[in-house]
Every structure is written in C-alpha cells, then in structure tokens.
Structure 1
Amino acid sequence: MRRILAAVLVAILVAWLALPVARSYLLVAAHHSDPLPPADLAVTDLDLGADLSGWSVQVAIGAPAVVLVHGFKTSREEMLPWARFLHDAGYNVVLFDTRGCGRSAGAVIGLGATEPRDISRAVAAARGAFRTTAVAALGISVGAGAVILAAATDPDVTAVVADSAWTDEDFQLTRLSFLPVGPVRVPLPPYGVAMVNALVGADVSQARPLEVIGRIAPRPVLLIHSADDDNATTTVDGARRLFDAAGEPKQIWIAPHGGHVGAINAFPDEYRARVLAFLASALR
C-alpha cells in the first residue's frame, strides 16, 4: 500500500513539474493548414521568402495596398472577407500566413513577439510587387496587436487598422503560473514563461502594443472593437487605453456588439464604410 501511495505521489509530482512545459508548448505550438485559393478572387502566390507563404490580389500597379494579418493560429483564409471589400474598393491586397500558421514554416507561433518581422516583410513585398509606397497594415486579434508593433518600428507601414487588439501578453503568460481546479488556483512551477520564451526565441513579455502605439504618429491609426468582446486578452477597456496612448491622427470605433473580431459581421456596411473612409484619407 505504501508503495502504491508513493508511486501515486511521484506521478503527481512529475505531472506537476511537467505541466508548465506542456502548457507552454500547447500555447505556442504551430497550427499548419492548407489555405485554398478562393473561387471569387484572383490570387497569385507572392514571394515572401522560403519560410513565409502568401497571396497577392492585384488591382493596378501603383495603387495603394493593404497587408492583411490574421488572428491566433488561423491562416490567410480568415482574411478573405477583408480582401474582397478592399479589392472591390480599388486596393491591392496581400494576405499571408504568419510564422507557424497556414503554409508558412515554423514549429511555433510568436504570440506577437515575432509576427511584426513577418509583417514588415509582407509590407516590403507589397511595395515591390505593386510599386507603391502607400501600404497600410490591417490586423485582427493577435494580428491587430502585431500590426501596431510592426508599425511602431517600421516607417514603411503607412497606416494601421487594428481590429480587436490586445495591449500586452500578461494575461496569457500569467495563466502559465497556475492550474485552475474549480474555484481553486493550483500554483505551478515558475518556469512556464521562460519555456515560452525559449520556444519562441524572443521575450514575449516585451510584446506590448500599449507601450509603443504612440510611436506610430504622425501616421494614422484606426482602432475597431466590439463593446461585448469577451476575450480575456482583448477587452474593450484595452482598446480605449490603446486609443488614449496613440498619437494623432487616430480614430476609434466601438461597435455596440459583435463579439471578438465580430464587428465586420454584425455591422458589415458600417464596418466597410469606416475602414474605406479611413484608408482613403490615410493612403491618399
């Protein structure tokens, strides 16, 4: 009986020690897929380098362009609704899979820490492919925070549209320090964050859109959020704080409802009108 009890205790201890490693890996593990070209939109494979995969949708050489950035562990396919209305409005478009997603290489995603580099490459590719210096970046969810981070350090990003953006990754990282068991939080060994950083190859805690959004000015920023966004990492209060921290020119639209990244579905006409009016001014 004592041996059985000892074995059970050892198993519990091993599981307790291993949990931060397993949870860290699951948080950032890649999610590859095979995005299919849409039947209603003429897309062309875009050269972004051997490790990134994307499409271009060309309207006209010299016309302004918009780089679209998808959300958490999805792919460029998620951005097709945006690509369609932007294309119809006369914008060249780039859709691509961030590292670790879709057809792009990588064993992990970056939780916003590495995606800005991918976005800058997509912006550079858009400038070259379409021969334009007017290139906006539009991102949703994880991609929304990532386009803010990219624009803060890359002056080639002419304007930013961030839909359902996050302010930092503190919530995601804090969750690695405990295991919720009913109403109780069981503390875990404190190396979950270090494990995430090791897997990603960057300090994820330093990916903080709230701290850098002010650097984008005088390039324009449009923030979009739903009042009922219940995603714990993308609260509407966070959107308001991002707006307060941004420099001019800036705009914010809080849709009455729609949920996380849902304003485009809840208010499709108003969503498109607001985005297109913003881009018409920002990319003129």
Structure 2
Amino acid sequence: MKKRRLLAALGAPVTLFSATLLASEKLYNFAFKRVDYVPETSADKQKYASAYWSYVDWLHRQPVQTWQLNINDEANRLVATYVPASTTSNRTVIVSHGYKGDGETMANYAYMFHQMGYNVLLPDDRGHGQSAGKYISFGWQDRRDYLGWIARVIKNNGSRSQIVLFGVSMGGATVEMMSGEKLPNQVQAIIADCGYTSIEEELAYLLKRQFHLPKYPFVPIVSFINRHRMGYFLSDVSSVEQLRHNHRPIFFIHGEKDVYVPSWMLKKNYQAAGGPKKMWQVPNATHAESFWIDPVAYQQHVTAFLANYLPQNN
C-alpha cells in the first residue's frame, strides 16, 4: 500500500510535466511553424476586404521582377517582388510584411510608396510565401536576410540609392531589429508600424490574453525548443535592445486601440530608440489598422516624416 502511494505521488508530477511539455510543443508548432497559406484576416478588418483586393489587383498589373537570394541553397532561398517606380528613381522602400503574411499582403503599402515615386521591394520572409524555411523567426533571422536585400537594391539601383525600411506588425519589429545592425549609408530612414518589443514579451502577453495561460513554464520551454531548432533563445529576439543601437531617423506608428501589440510596447520601443525619432499614435485604430482608417492621412504623415531626412535630389 505504501509503495502504491509513493508511485502515485511520484507519478502525478511526471504526468503534469509530460503534459506541459506536450502543450509547449503544440504551442511552438502553432506559433512558429510555417504555413503555406495566408490566414484569413480578423473579423474587424473584413470591412476593408474590397479595398485590400483592389490593391492586390493593382500589384498584379505592375511590371514586377522576381528577385532571389541564396539561389543555390534550397534551404535558405529567399524570394522578393520588385516593383520599379513609374519613372527612374534612386529611392527604394523595402517593405516587411506581418506574421504569416507575404509580400503580396503589403500591396496597399506598395501602392502608397509607388505613388510617392519609390521603387518597392516586397520580400517574402523566411518561413513565408515563396521563401524557404521551416520556421518563423519573428524578425530575428529576417534582420540579417534583409541586409542581403539592401545589398541587392544597391547593386541594382546604384550607390546613390536612398533606402527606406518599412514594416507593419512583425514587419515593424523586423525593421526595428534591423536598426541595431551595421547598415550601409544608403539606408536613410526607418518606419515601424505596430512592432512589438520582443517575441518573449509578445508571446507571454498573447498567452495570457488569448489562452489564459501563464508565462511560466510555457514561454521558457518554448524558448528552449526554439534554441534547439533555430539556434537562439526567445530572449535574444528584442526590438528594444536593437533600437538602443539605432542612430537613423525612425518613425513609430501604432493604433491607439491595439490589443494585439499593446501601446505600452510602442512607448517602450520609442523610449529605447536612439537617433531622431517621432511617434504617431493613431486614434481608434486597432492592430495594423492605421493605414486602413485613413489612407490619405497615413500617406501624409509618412511623406512629412521622410521629407525631413531624404535629400530632395532623387
């Protein structure tokens, strides 16, 4: 009888630990594993569907080019769509897409910058779209990949290129993380729309909000799984730490009613950022909705910011 009680007492923690590991593995695959489709947008943004598809149709009518990096390395091959400006321009914007999206999902921003006279590069991030990769890196590996896209723009368009880095949601965090890298002088400004502070804080926040689960023990276990599969812990993936090393002009945009990437993350990123900086918190906008609420006002704010930092002779 005592032996049975002892085995039962020992078995309960083992069972709980096994269940936690299994749940963490499922969480990791749900959040980090690539999907070969673009998930449907949230219900609150369905009202923008018609406008969204009109931008996608516009993109499909453009004389685009397909660019690739790491062509001979199937496991690391990256693909992007390049939209040349209507008239020859030294200005190029590299647009970083959101979580489980691809370059095409940024067609509205491509249209905006194209109207502003920019060449537009729309990469599919690692683990998304036509690019290779089994897992999503939430901007961390992408920040290095984008250095390759920057080099490709300069090679294609010349040393007088004026490059803007622009991203939304995960893409916003990606360009924030790029800000801490050694960037060529041609990169002259960064615009980050609703980027998170770190993947660790974002995951912990969403676990609590969406699944009513605590940070511990799930986030540390997921971090350990990611270290095994991707080579780094989640604590390494930080916009805040990268922004501390920034010295380029950076414009932070964030929806006032964003509950997916909460506004305290905007303020933490803004406070951390070095270099000239500006912040625009858009009234009544939810996550990644700032453009859709008023595209004209959005373009005006972006244009005004860039006019301060990009030379006029383009």
Give the TM-score normalised by structure 1. Answer: 0.85
- Structure 1 residues 123 and 187: CA distance shift in structure 2, 3 A: closer
- Percentage identity across paired residues of the two chains: 26
In structure 1, the partner of 2:80 is 54
Three-state SS of the structure 2 residue aligned to 1:93 is strand
Question: Counterparts of 1:160 and 1:182 in 2: how far apart (Å)?
Answer: 33
- Confirm or deny that 1:39 pairs with 2:60: yes
Question: Counterparts of 2:80 and 2:308 in 1: how far apart (Å)?
Answer: 27
- Cα shift at 1:160: 0.5
- Structure 1 residues 173 and 165: CA distance shift in structure 2, 3 A: closer
- Confirm or deny that 1:26 pairs with 2:47: no
Q: Quick one: which amino acid aligns to residue 166 of structure 1? A: Y
1:140 and 1:162 in contact (8 A); partners too: yes
Q: Quick one: which amino acid aligns to residue 227 of structure 2? A: N
Give the alignment partner of residue 223 of structure 2, picking from 187, 193, 204.
193
In structure 1, the partner of 2:251 is 222
Give the alignment partner of residue 273 of structure 2, picking from 228, 243, 246.
246
Q: Quick one: which amino acid aligns to residue 175 of structure 2? A: V
1:220 and 1:248 in contact (8 A); partners too: yes
- Structure 1 residues 221 and 182: CA distance shift in structure 2, 3 A: closer
Three-state SS of the structure 1 residue aligned to 2:66 is strand
Question: Counterparts of 2:245 and 2:113 in 1: how far apart (Å)?
Answer: 26
Q: Quick one: which amino acid aligns to residue 230 of structure 1? A: V
Q: Quick one: which amino acid aligns to residue 166 of structure 2? A: L
- Confirm or deny that 1:275 pairs with 2:296: no
Three-state SS of the structure 2 residue aligned to 1:124 is helix
- Cα shift at 1:188: 5.0
- Cα shift at 1:115: 1.3
- Confirm or deny that 1:142 pairs with 2:155: no
2:59 and 2:111 in contact (8 A); partners too: no
Question: Counterparts of 2:249 and 2:280 in 1: how far apart (Å)?
Answer: 14
Q: CA RMSD in A?
A: 3.0
- Cα shift at 1:113: 1.8
Three-state SS of the structure 2 residue aligned to 1:244 is helix
Question: Counterparts of 2:166 and 2:210 in 1: how far apart (Å)?
Answer: 38
Point out where structure 2 has 5 or more consecutive residues left out of the alignment: 39-55, 72-76
Matches within 5 A, 1:61-72: 61-72=88-99
- Could you say which structure has the greater relative contact order, defined with CA pairs below 8 angstroms and 6 or more residues apart? 1
Matches within 5 A, 1:1-284: 14-33=18-37, 38-50=59-71, 51-59=77-85, 60-131=87-158, 132-156=160-184, 157-174=187-204, 188=217, 191-217=221-247, 219-231=248-260, 234-284=261-311
- Structure 1 residues 145 and 182: CA distance shift in structure 2, 3 A: closer
Q: Quick one: which amino acid aligns to residue 23 of structure 1? A: L
Aligned length: 275
Give the TM-score normalised by structure 2. Answer: 0.78
- Structure 1 residues 74 and 113: CA distance shift in structure 2, 3 A: same
Q: Quick one: which amino acid aligns to residue 152 of structure 2? A: A
Question: Counterparts of 1:159 and 1:102 in 2: how far apart (Å)?
Answer: 26
Question: Counterparts of 1:99 and 1:236 in 2: how far apart (Å)?
Answer: 27
Three-state SS of the structure 1 residue aligned to 2:122 is strand
Point out where structure 1 has 5 or more consecutive residues left out of the alignment: none
> Which segment is superposed worse, 54-63 or 75-84?
54-63
